[in-house]
């Protein structure tokens, strides 16, 4: 394409009404799918009070996360094969159907089953939505709007608990789910009228074996991170067995993918350096940030003595920094077309922040710890949406959906892997520290129990101090192990090639072109204004 044509594309004329309405619908759907997890947490006690089943309540979250995770790569591939509009609308219908069923649930078992149905739809809303964005907008303009999606993610996490509390108090917990329905119906109407459907060419071939194997890997990995250290000990036969099964499933999936004609995730994509770097950075960042920060509340509450409410407030700066950094990256890339140094700065900044977190002890002020966490959040925000953009522009147009879903899927797996690894590190070091600071019987008793702020407050002062010091040492050890992970992400980011962002629909220079027989590209979804 000529320089004049590229300039015209990058100048980004005003969006047409159709595109603006489609973007509004996508943002609404992203909001309700991400908000759902945060809202239900507040309604939890009321749900248990009415339905019972306290011992199974954790599955209300786990079932959604499992279904959400395993469907991400499937939705990405189906969007490439069958066109994104029908696939997205199916996902939205599943999510809304699950929402209605959850609101009508009469037992905890029903609620868990219907949450699974919700998750089966929710995974598509995020992945296919970002792929539609890739079809709609030229890369520079896409960078700006992807930053708005990152802001929606942050808003959902920040506002979710408060919104859930208000809805539960004023309307009842069932409306936590029913509220999705009118919003979703508005989105369906907008997408139905203004999102242009496309008919892929060729005969789609579905990689059923790859779907089953990768889904099994996702399920076992999430179960390890969910059950490890809580329901089962990290060294128990159940957790070790699930870990071994996850490894075998991943190996079997790889062997299948190199042989099938239309793989779920085409391994040829990894021949492109920028594509490989983007998924490595996404995976490393999610392990360190989203995996590591799962343990920050333990530090705030059991070491620094913050209340649960104060803990939530101490998290606010980090979440706000994620959104601000994402917006800054989007705006700068939109203006300059250059993206290479954002993943580099992201990994470097997060590495410094995690290194500072690893220096904390029982005397570290709460606000200082929150500042360290905010630095990590700012670093992760610099690459949160950028790596998706890089993956999309590095992949051939026929694989845009797969490129998008792979980044999202590996982020989720990074969260699960980080939680599992850091949980094992924390628990192992905690047992050592308690044994060193307390009598053997007392250390064994506390090590087996699930310590909370309330239970620690009932202990003698000397024991409380020993617990605080032990947790501080154990948690900072886990934070220290994030440093080599982020260092790997930094080294990978330095390998990025800062290729010019290509105009929409044109393959990146040097990108691998798949054989014609494998192409089922739906083409642009909505024509660009102007």
Model confidence band, residue 448 (pLDDT cutoffs 50, 70, 90): low
pLDDT at 471: 83
How does the average pLDDT of the chain come out, rounded? 80
Check whether 353 has a pLDDT greater than 90.
yes
For residue 331, what are the CA distances in angstroms to 24, 144, 394, 401, 466?
19, 5, 20, 24, 48
pLDDT at 11: 47
- Most confidently predicted of 88-97, 167-176, 291-300, 494-503: 88-97
Question: Would you list the DSSP string of 100-134?
Answer: HHHHT--SHHHHHHHHHHHHHHHHHHHHHHHHHHH
Q: H or E element: which one contains 178?
A: helix 175-178
Model confidence band, residue 529 (pLDDT cutoffs 50, 70, 90): very low
The rounded distance, in Å, linking the Cα atoms of 303 and 530 is 58
pLDDT one-digit tens code per residue, 115-127: 999 989 988 888 8
Angle subtended at Cα 121 by Cα 186 and Cα 15, rounded to the nearest 5 degrees:
45
**Structure token pair of residue 234:** 């990290």
| Mean pLDDT within 424-429 | 82
**Structure token pair of residue 330:** 């989007």
Comparing CA positions, the residue from 93, 123, 97 lying closest to residue 30 is 123
pLDDT at 50: 81
339 burial (CB, 10 Å; 0-12 / 13-18 / 19+) is: buried
Greater model confidence, 14 or 248? 248
Check whether 390 has a pLDDT greater than 60.
yes
233 burial (CB, 10 Å; 0-12 / 13-18 / 19+) is: middle
CB-based contact 447:252 (threshold 8 Å): no
Check whether 158 has a pLDDT greater than 80.
no
pLDDT at 410: 86
pLDDT at 64: 85
Contacts of 170 (CB under 8 A, 6+ apart): none
Overall size of the chain counted in residues: 530
| Mean pLDDT within 81-98 | 91
Model confidence band, residue 525 (pLDDT cutoffs 50, 70, 90): very low
**Structure token pair of residue 44:** 């939890």
| Mean pLDDT within 430-437 | 81
CB-based contact 446:467 (threshold 8 Å): yes
| Mean pLDDT within 399-407 | 87
83 burial (CB, 10 Å; 0-12 / 13-18 / 19+) is: buried
Comparing CA positions, the residue from 329, 394, 374, 376 lying closest to residue 149 is 329
Task: Spell out where 371-478 has E strands.
Answer: none
What are the φ and ψ backbone dihedral angles of 228, each rounded to 5 degrees?
A: -60, 125
pLDDT at 323: 84
pLDDT at 202: 65
**Structure token pair of residue 462:** 């000397």
Chain centroid, CA 220 distance in Å: 17
115 burial (CB, 10 Å; 0-12 / 13-18 / 19+) is: buried
Q: Residue 106: how many CB atoms within 10 A of its CB?
A: 9
Task: Spell out where 352-425 has E strands.
Answer: none
CB-based contact 340:498 (threshold 8 Å): yes
Contacts of 193 (CB under 8 A, 6+ apart): 21
pLDDT at 495: 92
Question: Would you list the DSSP string of 281-323?
Answer: HHHHHIIIIIIHGGGHHHIIIIIS---HHHHHHHHHHHHHHHH
Check whether 114 has a pLDDT greater than 80.
yes
pLDDT one-digit tens code per residue, 231-272: 788 788 998 999 999 999 999 999 999 888 888 888 888 889
pLDDT one-digit tens code per residue, 472-518: 888 888 889 889 999 999 999 999 887 766 554 444 443 333 333 33
Model confidence band, residue 447 (pLDDT cutoffs 50, 70, 90): low
Q: Residue 309: how many CB atoms within 10 A of its CB?
A: 8
The rounded distance, in Å, linking the Cα atoms of 210 and 265 is 8
Q: Say which range, 3-12, 412-421, 422-431, 457-466, has the weakest mean pLDDT.
A: 3-12
Find tokens 């059923």 and name the residue. Answer: 208
The rounded distance, in Å, linking the Cα atoms of 117 and 115 is 5
| Mean pLDDT within 190-202 | 79
Check whether 224 has a pLDDT greater than 50.
yes
pLDDT at 528: 33
**Structure token pair of residue 353:** 């922040």
Biggest CA–CA distance in the chain, Å, is 77
Contacts of 155 (CB under 8 A, 6+ apart): 31, 323
Tell me 203's DSSP state: -
pLDDT at 371: 92
pLDDT one-digit tens code per residue, 331-351: 888 888 888 889 999 999 999
Integer distance in angstroms from the first to the last C-alpha of the chain?
Answer: 18
36 burial (CB, 10 Å; 0-12 / 13-18 / 19+) is: buried
pLDDT one-digit tens code per residue, 34-85: 777 767 766 766 787 788 776 677 788 778 888 888 888 889 888 888 888 9
- SS3 state of residue 207: coil
Q: What is the pTM of this model?
A: 0.77
CB-based contact 135:191 (threshold 8 Å): no
CB-based contact 14:529 (threshold 8 Å): yes
């Amino acid at each position: 394409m000529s320089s004049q044509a590229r300039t015209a594309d990058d100048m980004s004329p005003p969006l047409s009404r159709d595109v603006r309405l489609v973007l509004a619908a996508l943002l609404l759907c992203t909001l309700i799918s991400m908000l759902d997890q945060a809202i239900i947490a507040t309604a939890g006690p009321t749900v248990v009070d009415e339905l019972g089943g306290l011992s199974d309540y954790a599955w209300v979250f786990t079932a959604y996360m499992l279904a959400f995770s395993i469907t991400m790569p499937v939705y990405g591939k189906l969007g490439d094969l069958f066109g994104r509009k029908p696939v997205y609308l199916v996902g939205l219908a599943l999510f809304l159907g699950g929402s209605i069923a959850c609101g009508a649930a009469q037992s905890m078992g029903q609620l868990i089953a219907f949450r699974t149905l919700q998750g089966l739809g929710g995974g598509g809303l995020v992945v296919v939505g970002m792929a539609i964005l890739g079809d709609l907008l030229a890369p520079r303009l896409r960078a700006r709007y992807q930053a708005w999606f990152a802001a929606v993610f942050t808003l959902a996490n920040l506002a979710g608990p408060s919104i859930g509390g208000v809805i539960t108090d004023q309307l009842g917990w069932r409306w936590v789910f029913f509220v999705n329905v009118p919003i979703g119906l508005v989105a369906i109407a907008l997408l139905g009228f203004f999102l242009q459907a496309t008919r892929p060419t060729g005969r789609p071939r579905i990689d059923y074996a790859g779907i089953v194997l990768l889904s099994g890997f996702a399920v076992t990995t999430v179960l390890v991170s969910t059950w490890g250290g809580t329901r089962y000990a990290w060294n128990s036969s159940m957790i070790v067995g699930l870990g071994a099964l996850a490894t075998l499933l991943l190996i079997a999936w790889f062997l299948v993918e190199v042989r099938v004609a239309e793989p779920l995730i085409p391994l040829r994509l990894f021949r492109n350096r920028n594509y490989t770097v983007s998924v490595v950075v996404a995976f490393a960042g999610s392990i360190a940030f989203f995996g590591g920060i799962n343990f920050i509340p333990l530090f705030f509450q059991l070491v620094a003595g913050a209340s649960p409410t104060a803990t939530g407030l101490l998290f606010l700066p980090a979440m706000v920094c994620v959104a601000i950094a994402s917006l800054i990256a989007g705006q700068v890339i939109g203006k300059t077309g250059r993206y290479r140094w954002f993943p580099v700065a992201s990994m470097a900044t997060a590495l410094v922040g995690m290194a500072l977190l690893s220096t904390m002890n029982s005397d570290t002020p709460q606000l200082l710890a929150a500042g360290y966490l905010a630095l990590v959040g700012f670093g992760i925000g610099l690459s949160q949406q950028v790596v998706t953009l890089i993956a999309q522009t590095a992949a051939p147009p026929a694989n845009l959906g797969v490129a998008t879903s792979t980044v999202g899927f590996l982020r989720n797996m990074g969260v699960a892997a980080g939680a599992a690894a850091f949980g094992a590190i924390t628990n192992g070091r905690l047992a050592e520290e308690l044994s060193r600071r307390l009598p053997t019987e007392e250390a064994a008793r506390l090590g087996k129990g699930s310590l909370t702020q309330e239970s620690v407050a009932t202990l003698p002062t000397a024991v409380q101090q020993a617990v605080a010091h032990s947790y501080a040492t154990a948690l900072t050890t886990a934070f220290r192990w994030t440093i080599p992970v982020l260092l790997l992400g930094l080294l990978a980011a330095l390998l990025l090639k800062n290729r010019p962002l290509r105009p929409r629909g044109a393959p990146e220079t040097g990108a691998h072109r798949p054989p014609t027989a494998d192409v089922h590209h739906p083409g642009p979804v909505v024509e660009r204004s102007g």
